[in-house]
Amino acid sequence: MFFYLLTIPILFGSLYMLFYLRRLKKHDKVLYRFCQLRRETMSIIREANFDLKPEDYAVLRALVEKTSDTIHDFNNCKVSLFNVRKLSEQVSRAKMIEALDVENPQIQKLCLGYTLAMLRAFFTFTPFIKSELGLRVAPYLLRALASLGGNYLKIQVKKMNELILWIKQESEEHGAALAAS
């Protein structure tokens, strides 16, 4: 009995540490991309400072400012910054940077890297986005499987499709209830 009294707190502590380390890993992966992008941008500014065109320098400075702002406010705003409402704002900022006339392929690559880092951060910190997308794609995938299979498979796929639609409706109702409260 004494063994169980010692084992249960250790088990719960281990589970807590697993979840904590997973959250920390997610945080570090996203933050590392922005830090690496800023380092690459600053190295281009340092190495080719007098050889850059004024337009290219303006794009690089804007990119450094955007990544610095994102890194500086990352811990406080990561959940609210990378959500659906703010994604369009972030994409428009990235397009604003890309809209400037840039001919240098290195700078174009950095601008694309900023956009990709924002998208990865969005998918990382938006709760349930992957499962929601999976639930939206699953009925189409199941219909495609049903068209390839026989009658038994068609019946099973129809049951699974009904189950997925029910789960999707319940999740939307639950999401609406959470938004209302």
Q: What is the CATH number of the domain that holds 106?
A: 1.20.140
Q: Helix count (H) and strand count (E) of the chain? A: 7, 0
DSSP annotation of 51:
T
Give residue 90's identity as a one-letter amino acid code.
Answer: Q
What is the pLDDT averaged over residues 153-173? Answer: 81
| Average of per-residue pLDDT across 116-130 | 75
Containing structural domain, residue 21: 2-125
What is the distance between the alpha carbons of residues 42 and 22, in angstroms, rounded to a whole number? Answer: 30
Could you tell me the pTM of the whole model?
Answer: 0.57
Tell me the pLDDT tens digit for each residue of 10-39.
888 888 888 887 777 877 888 888 899 999
Give 5 or 153, the one with higher predicted confidence.
Answer: 5
Residues 119 and 136 in one domain: no
DSSP state of 150: -
Integer-rounded Cα Rg, in Å, for the chain is 23
Question: Where does the pLDDT of residue 95 fall: very low under 50, low under 70, confident under 90, or very high at 90 and above?
Answer: low
Same domain, 85 and 168: no
